[in-house]
Structure 1
């Protein structure tokens, strides 16, 4: 197996290739030829209309060449072979300025898809990476194929050369070629991905509570039996309970056995509890208790790695169990839904100290398939005028018609009700981000009276999206 890129060959001039929707797309020609060579001269500056040399020049500021750009050095972008996975992972760790964790790498090895993992090679060295996992993402009323983008990074010595743009270009064309209407990711820095058409579609919640103040409102059902579980039992529960939620709540990706195993292995030494209900296991929690002692006695901290429930009584029961753990002073949880049910169970709502976080970003790779593939809570008929500089096949006016039983999205020449960028359409796609706030923020333009309110109602969804699985 090769451990580096093939010998560089002269890069042919790309000839436009006509896509199914009539867009003359040079990127399609690159994809057909497996993107044989991409040079460092293919700069991000061209894709986002910046001056060459990296960041935009401020008014009155003299322009300088990018200090790290070395012209004439070929960089090859290609998918990797299985023996190259570790080199790619090491480069990603370097890009994130963190040490390579061999144990964590080995724990997640079965989740890596080499044929969906891109690396930029300079000679025998990986200088940038972008991977993807094959998922089904839950959307309002259904599920759609989605690329779970992960491990995206450029090593410090090769930034501002257009490598990220080259990787994103290649990756989105590949996603489209696979027929997946969506891509999604967790962003390390939120300002990076909007220019590639990603919108923040899911908000998350992190919180902590002091056990002494976490009593419930009278009448909250908490009486189901709870039992501790070993790794075998929790593995089954993580699969079955998660799937029941995945079928009804937007924002969740499906979990293969490899992903379940990875979540258990990467989190270290966890305890597990199961709640049994009429339909079997109806809730579970994976958590860790960190001991601590102060002058006033025990100060243990309980950190919840994951807690899922499929019924209100199972939800109340599992949280009552966790909050009643002896010797614990503080309970913490992350990756929680924006509509956290626990907040409404507590007698003192201020006992839950909450922090809203960015969670999942979504990209509509194929607007027609995406908007046709979700459901709408009420009858909808609206024309959207979409701008999409990075994936021009999405540009234009789209008529969305449908309701609770199905929908279709087709091109149209009718006058638009709303004009918006593809990233803002993606933000509203899962029903958790409203059209109204984006109109008030100046991100969406209303072209017909009442259109924003109509679109706000049409795109909303209950329950709101929840991103549980970090990839």
Structure 2
């Protein structure tokens, strides 16, 4: 089999989409959604595998800026649309595309790559670690209330058309992004992504709605976008569902007021959501957490591409001076011993010949990078080795983030 790897050329998008559809199955995306992805994905950042005139494998990458601990927006490649046709699996195509893609990221100076995985077990062998979790849940809103902190009573809720409220929502979102590791700043065009509302994907739900939390003088302090059903039990008892798409706010009062609104609608039995932070403050606001069915799952996967640049870009929760022995077979330029020194003035990461304090593989470094999983937990699983007694604790504390990392949407 002779396979050619290259970037997609103009005029070849239909072949790219055809490979994706055949690989993932299903009816395909709504035309408006497919068109948006086509406009947002840089053609030059794609890797395609060609068997003759047919695309048999795909991988793409968006150009993102992602918040890292400390609030810095770091350049990140958002890996997307990775596929191999069923006829060409188990022949090394995925490995070859990952190899080409990571080499390209390294050459362009991109410090990290991120993705949301359809099959989590695939990406660990390429150095990606599960760096951020997400929570999904269902609230029995008939059996709980949401507490309102001081200041919430001064806010009003106003329903607007999602497109009409988009600018105000994006202004709030932009201010929230630096507060949480893993959040993605929206480049031009991405403001259209949360407005996608294909009718065929709604099921029993109506069109998307948008509510703004405003002060008396019209300042928007938060927003929520959601769908609702109109449903009753066979006995005629109201049994509607609110499905939350996203919600952000600039202060605790506005955030609580939004959840109070979402859980207090007439005729509604439950509120469901599929992607919220692991440390969402709403868990502390509900009157009865047992009425909330919650479950976490893997969310954002991260790959350290340029180790010294990535480690120097983030802040650390405590001063640290540690030598890391890193094994990275897939990106060998990261392998070796690295001294990480960080304090309130910043961080420096440089190669060293000094003895190592901790040893770990690239995947585990990626897992700990955003601060959501501790080095100590990874060591307890046998994935990080303490080489110098006493080194693990301070390093684990330093890498932690007091805000759980979270990616607010897939890509």
User: TM-score scaled by structure 1?
Assistant: 0.82
Displacement, 1:371? Answer: 0.3
| Residues 347-383 of structure 1, C-alpha deviations (whole Å, 9 max, x = no match) | 1111211010110000000001000111112211111
Question: Number of matched residues?
Answer: 399
Which residue is equivalent to 2:228? 289
- Counterpart of 1:62? none
Partner residue of 1:121 out of 38, 47, 50: 50
Change (3 A) 1:306 1:219: closer
Alignment correspondent of 2:279 = 339
Task: Provide the C-alpha distance between the structure 2 equivalents of 1:266 and 1:179, rounded to a whole number of angstroms.
Answer: 36
Q: Which has the higher contact order (CA 8 A, sep 6+)?
A: 2
**Contact conserved, 1:107 with 1:265, CA < 8 A, in 2?**
no
Q: In structure 2, do the counterparts of structure 1 residues 267 and 322 end up closer, same or farther at CA, with 3 Å as the change threshold?
A: farther
Q: What's 1:256 paired with?
A: 187
Whole-angstrom distance in 2 between the partners of 1:383 and 1:447: 10
Structure 1: which 5+ residue stretches go unaligned? Answer: 1-72
- Say which SS state the counterpart of residue 180 (structure 1) adopts: coil
Alignment of 1:156-235 (within 5 A): 156-217=86-147, 219=149, 222-223=152-153, 224-235=155-166
SS in 1 for 2:142: helix
Residue aligning to 1:15: none
Q: State the shift of 1:105 in Å.
A: 0.9
- 5+ long unaligned stretches in structure 2: 200-206
1:89 counterpart = 2:24: no
Q: Provide the aligned C-alpha RMSD in A.
A: 1.6
What does residue range 300-339 of structure 1 map to in structure 2 within 5 Å?
300-339=240-279
Q: Which is greater in Rg?
A: 1
CA contact (8 A) 2:149 2:253 kept: no
Residue in 1 that maps onto 2:362: 422
SS at match of 2:189: helix
User: Against the structure 1 CA distance between its residues 346 and 267, is the aligned structure 2 distance closer, same or farther, given a 3 Å change threshold?
Assistant: farther
**Which one of 379, 389, 395 corresponds to residue 449 of structure 1?**
389
Counterpart CA distance in 2 for 1:191 and 1:198 is: 10
Q: Contact between 2:139 and 2:293, CA under 8 Å: does it hold in 1?
A: yes
* Counterpart secondary structure, 1:150: strand
- CA drift of 1:392 comes to 0.2
The aligned residue for residue 153 of structure 1 is 83
Partner of 1:23: none
Q: Residue in 1 aligned with 2:170?
A: 239
TM-score, normalised to structure 2, is 0.94
Indicate whether 1:270 and 2:208 are aligned.
yes
Alpha-carbon distance in 2 for matches of 1:180, 1:311: 33
Counterpart for residue 60 of structure 2 = 131
